[in-house]
Each structure stands twice: as C-alpha cells, then as structure tokens.
Amino acid sequence: MSERNEYDEHNGQTEVAEQSRPEYVDFTVDDFPGGLAACLEAILMVADQPQTVEDMARVLVVDESDVEDALQALRAEYEGDAARGIRPRGFELRHTARGWQFANRAEFEPVVSAFVTDGQTARLSQAALEALAIVAYRQPVTRAQVAAIRGVNSDGVIRSLAVRGLIAENGMDPDSRAALLVTSEFFLDQMGLNSLDELPSLAPFLPSVAEMTRPGESDEEPVS
C-alpha cells in the first residue's frame, strides 16, 4: 500500500470516528492523566455489569483494537509479576462472554465475606434498608435501577443484602443484560410474610395529590 493510500485510509477512519462520536462526548482519552487505560478503569469501576469492547470504544471514540490491547495490558498488570517483585492485586479484570468487569479474586473470598458479614447480627443500615425496600417493591430490578432510585451507587449494600441471604439474582434483563434482583424466601421468613402479596401498601406513606401540587397549579388546561 502506498503512503498516499495509507494516508487516505487513516483519514477515512478518523472521519468515521468523528461522525460516530456521541453528542455528549466532548473529550478525547488523551485529555486525561493515564490516557485510554485510565479511562477504561474509570468506566469499569462504576459499571454494574460487564462492558463490551464495542461499547467502550464507542463511548470513548477510539478503535476497538486499542481498547482490547489496553484491557489485556491492564489484566496483566493486575496479575502482578513475581519475578520483578510486583504483587498481584486483590481484584482482577475478568473477561466473560458478557464482557469485561472488575471482580474480587476467588482466593480472597474469605476476606470479603468476613468484611461483608461483619456485624451481621446487627440491624440493617439505613442505606441497606432503602435498597432492600426498592428491591422488595420494584422486583425484579437491576443494580443500576436501584442506584438510580437512591441517587447513589448501591453495589456495597446490595452485596451485603445478598450475603445476608435477603436478596438474590434471578434472571437477566433482556435489554441491558444486567442481573435481575429479587427478594428471597429468607426475606419472607424474616418479615413474617407468606408471600410478597402481603407486603404493606406504600400508599399511606406517599404524599397526596394536593401535597404534590403547588397552590394555583392544576393538571387541567385553563378554560379560555
């Protein structure tokens, strides 16, 4: 291939990338310390489900091959290098059929379980109660939906509830491919319920229409 053809091909790829850039993306990965690798870490740190190379490449407006290479390099970095005295991390960058995600290493499961179950006999925190209520009344629901309702990342409290046996994963959302959360039989036992139909109504705790409508406002159109 001539230099001219290589130049045209490169420019063509650049133009396609620019045309496919989402409107809300006003940056390039080189704008940030650590470049592409750091951007991928930031995405995977907040993601509540595996992410595909295609999706991350589209959001960051970079080539899929560059994303794949960066992910492989990160995974190797987290594995450590005994010969060079570099210890492995307590987490790993795991690749499955659904994509890439951070996960605790299997050998650290006793440590994680001890942390999550510490004080298990104590009462649930306010954050855990909020997340549990959302799952109970909105199930099946994804982690992202719980976080959206609470307005804060809820992965920690969801893990705590799962370890306590109060909630569990059951199926997958067909659109987002995220795991669906539901309450468990143990939850019913702890609540003294025979079925979810016996959950108390939320109506008494919701504001009335009058309270939600400010004085002088109405859903009806003014009569001319």
In a domain, 34, yes or no: yes
How many domains does the chain fold into?
Answer: 2
- Residues 89, 29: one domain? yes
Does residue 148 lie within any of the structural domains?
Answer: yes
pLDDT in tens, 8-30: 444 444 444 455 667 777 889 99
Q: What is the mean pLDDT of residues 79-93?
A: 89
Same domain as 88, residue 7: yes
Asked whether the beta carbons of 77 and 41 are under 8 A apart, the reply is no
What is the mean predicted confidence (pLDDT) over 175-182? Answer: 89
- Whether 40 maps to a domain, the answer reads yes
Per-residue model confidence (pLDDT) at position 117? 67
Closest CA to 131 of 156, 164, 157: 157
Say yes or no: 144 and 82 in one domain: no
Reply yes or no on whether the pLDDT at 91 is more than 80: yes
- The pLDDT of residue 75 is 95
- Show Cβ contacts of residue 189 under 8 Å, excluding neighbours closer than 6 positions: none
pTM for this prediction: 0.53
The predicted pLDDT at position 119 comes to 55
Is the pLDDT score of 207 beyond 70? no
Q: Does any domain span residue 133?
A: yes
The C-alpha angle 53, 55, 60, rounded to 5 degrees, equals 95
Q: What is the pLDDT of residue 118?
A: 65
Nearest to 162 by CA among 112, 212, 89: 112
Is the predicted pLDDT of residue 122 greater than 70, yes or no? no
Expressed as residue numbers, the domain containing 12 is 3-104
> Is 50 in the same domain as 12?
yes
Q: Measure the CA angle with vertex 154, ends 74 and 92; round to 5°.
A: 20
19 or 105, higher pLDDT: 105
| pLDDT band at 93; cut points 50, 70, 90 | very high
pLDDT of residue 221: 41
Same domain, 77 and 128: no
Pull the structure tokens for residue 57: 């490449």
- pLDDT number for residue 203: 60
Tell me: do 80 and 134 sit in the same domain: no
Q: State residue 188's pLDDT score.
A: 86
Domain with residue 177: its CATH number is: 1.10.10.10
